[in-house]
Amino acid sequence: MACKNCKSKKKNEKKNEKKSELLYIMNPRCGWCKRSDPVVEELRKDGYNITTVDVTEPEGQSRTEEMKQKHGAQCGTPMFIDAKSGNMVCGFREKDVLEKWAKGEEVPAPPARDFRKVDPNNPTQKPELPKIQMVKLEYIWVDGGSPANLRSKVRFETIQTSMIENQGEFLKNLPEWSFDGSSTGQAEVDNSDLVLKPVKLLPNTPERTRTPSFVVFCEVYDTEGNPHKSNKRASLRELLKDDKMSGMVFGIEQEYVITNPTDEHPFGWDQYENNTPNEQGDYYCGVGADVTAVRDLSETHSMICNSAGIRIAGNNAEVMLSQWEYQLKETNALDACDNLWLSRFFLQRIAERMKMSISYSPKLIEEGDWNGSGAHINFSTKKMREDTDMSYILFLCSFLGESHKEAISHYGVGNDKRLTGKNETSSYEEFSWGEMDRSASIRIPHSTITKGKGYLEDRRPAANVDPYEAIGYLSTTLLKINEEMLIAI
């Protein structure tokens, strides 16, 4: 006998499928995620279509940031979220709870822990109180300088020890804090109060004390609750709400020079006659005390950043003595920019302890035949990585040249001195691109040429670039170019 309701059931099933897109956001190193994995597998066997999103992968990071921005999610891992409706469950939950979520039901947060644990049969027993811990919180933010720099101030708070274990909840409960904007180039003296709003929390790994220490990265707001004009992170956040930009991935190569704090001269140069070492040539990726200086600072910095969760892929000595570079692992636009500022913070703090300074000047040594310092941006769209060929890559390079002068205006302060130097990458006036060409504005790497897809390197940004401004500009430009070419990125 024919099923009278089969067609209507199939229609309802398709309708429900359109309403939901179930994501399991996880970290393979997370203990609670390991407990969640078999629960998710059981739900899949029961017919629920749940996609795993690994936050340690670039695509996973990008997807997670997209969900956080779109639905205001503040959860760590594991996180279960419906990408379309925003219905969400935080943390490990048993199958019966997650099944309700998968069906589209709202799952209330678990009740707060009851720390009292009093035995009703023992009236003399005292309640077990929450364990309290003193923590050091270093609030850091980007100031209003040109070029912009970092500022910080410290506060000590007493919190429940259990909060430290859940950093997502910890961040959510951190207090806002005011500061004097007239002393940071962000306000006038007669109306100087500005507000720091925490947006990221990570362990302050250089600290070696018994008191747990954290870095609190903040955005700057005015007292009316609006992002301050110097808050370019907020501008980038708004820009990234456009779903068309969700597949973009960025990696940044930061060059810098280690200097003496008193005269800003490159460290170690005073050992040479006229305070000038032999001309560049032996220093790039050099090995030995005669061709390198302060390797310990570079190595320590990379280890500390990776321990704090800021992925550094590598580092090397550069073409000038005391000049170094580190490469940040590629990720989504907002995290790439955050990671650059946070990595700069750790670099400057380590140098401070070693009685040294860090210079991001695009052309620190103007006299003689010495290279400047850049912050090359490696970038790709989803199409560039997965569905393209060299003809598209070459078209993209060509179109980027049409906005060359505008790009330079977003790529750092004093960059003209660097881009007109004899040994420099790219040119201030003329745009160029080339395969494996480090003198070009845009370099096409060997791996991209070999595979016919991959990424491009924009070598124009200066070392002192504000990444929010540069990547915001580059993202907008890439989107515009592809829309003109009628191509989805």
Q: Is there a single domain that holds both residue 97 and residue 75?
A: yes
Please say which residue of 230, 259, 280 terminates a domain. Answer: 230
Higher per-residue confidence, 178 vs 205:
178
**Position 115 confidence tier, pLDDT thresholds 50, 70, 90:** very low
Q: Is there a single domain that holds both residue 442 and residue 333?
A: yes
Query: What does the pLDDT look like over 244-298, one tens digit per residue?
Result: 888 899 999 999 999 999 888 999 898 888 888 888 889 999 999 999 999 999 9
Instruction: Give which of 237, 292, 265, 278 is closest to 364, Cα–Cα.
Output: 265
Burial class (CB in 10 A: 0-12, 13-18, 19+), 37: middle
Do the beta carbons of residue 268 and residue 295 sit within 8 Å?
Answer: no
3-class secondary structure, 371 = coil
**Position 439 confidence tier, pLDDT thresholds 50, 70, 90:** confident
Q: Please indicate, yes or no, if residue 121 is contained in any of the structural domains.
A: no
**AA letter at 65:** E
H helix or E strand, kind and range, residue 184: none
Q: Is there a single domain that holds both residue 73 and residue 180?
A: no
- Residue 368: φ, ψ to 5°: 90, -175
Q: Please indicate, yes or no, if residue 12 is contained in any of the structural domains.
A: no
Q: Please indicate, yes or no, if residue 394 is contained in any of the structural domains.
A: yes
Please report where in the chains the tokens 């309290």 appear, as a residue.
132
**Position 12 confidence tier, pLDDT thresholds 50, 70, 90:** very low
The CATH number of the domain holding residue 413 is 3.30.590.10
Q: Where are the alpha helices (DSSP H) in 354-433?
A: 382-386, 390-400, 404-409, 415-419
Q: Is there a single domain that holds both residue 265 and residue 226?
A: no
Q: Is there a single domain that holds both residue 364 and residue 404?
A: yes
pLDDT score recorded for residue 454: 93
**Position 1 confidence tier, pLDDT thresholds 50, 70, 90:** very low
Q: Please indicate, yes or no, if residue 119 is contained in any of the structural domains.
A: no
Structure tokens at 298: 């570079």
All residues at 6 or more sequence positions from 105 whose CB lies less than 8 Å from its CB, including other chains? 87
Query: What does the pLDDT look like over 314-336, one tens digit per residue?
Result: 999 999 999 999 999 999 999 99
Q: Please indicate, yes or no, if residue 59 is contained in any of the structural domains.
A: yes
Window from 142-156, 259-273, 354-368 with minimum mean pLDDT: 259-273
Q: Please indicate, yes or no, if residue 407 is contained in any of the structural domains.
A: yes
Q: Where are the alpha helices (DSSP H) in 103-231?
A: 161-165, 167-172
**Position 16 confidence tier, pLDDT thresholds 50, 70, 90:** very low
Q: Please indicate, yes or no, if residue 117 is contained in any of the structural domains.
A: no
Q: Is there a single domain that holds both residue 96 and residue 147?
A: no
Output the CA–CA distances (angstroms, integers) from residue 43 to 106, 226, 352, in the order listed.
17, 43, 52
pLDDT score recorded for residue 438: 80
Please say which residue of 184, 203, 230 terminates a domain. Answer: 230
Q: How far apart are CA 63 and CA 280, in angstroms?
A: 43
Q: Is there a single domain that holds both residue 224 and residue 356?
A: no
The CATH number of the domain holding residue 61 is 3.40.30.10
Do the beta carbons of residue 280 and residue 369 sit within 8 Å?
Answer: yes
Please say which residue of 102, 122, 150 terminates a domain. Answer: 102
Q: Is there a single domain that holds both residue 190 and residue 245?
A: no
Q: Please indicate, yes or no, if residue 448 is contained in any of the structural domains.
A: yes
Mean pLDDT, to the nearest integer, of 233-254?
Answer: 93
- Dihedral sign (CA 263, 264, 267, 270): negative
**AA letter at 93:** R
Q: Is the pLDDT of residue 5 over 60?
A: no
Look up the domain containing 67 and give its range.
Answer: 18-102
Q: Where are the alpha helices (DSSP H) in 218-376?
A: 232-239, 295-308, 333-353
Q: Is there a single domain that holds both residue 312 and residue 163?
A: no
For the chain, percent of residues with pLDDT exceeding 90 = 62
The CATH number of the domain holding residue 225 is 3.10.20.70
Q: Is there a single domain that holds both residue 266 and residue 392?
A: yes
* Threshold 0.95, pTM exceeds: no
Query: What does the pLDDT look like over 451-466, one tens digit per residue?
Result: 999 999 999 999 999 9
Structural domain count of the chain:
3
pLDDT score recorded for residue 9: 44
Helix 232-239 crosses helix 467-484 at what angle (to 10 degrees)?
A: 20
Q: Is there a single domain that holds both residue 245 and residue 321?
A: yes
3-class secondary structure, 264 = coil
Q: How far apart are CA 9 and CA 348, in angstroms?
A: 63
Mean pLDDT, to the nearest integer, of 405-430?
Answer: 81
pLDDT score recorded for residue 7: 52
Q: Is there a single domain that holds both residue 296 and residue 396?
A: yes
Higher per-residue confidence, 406 vs 165:
406
Instruction: Give which of 459, 483, 489 is closest to 374, Cα–Cα.
Output: 459
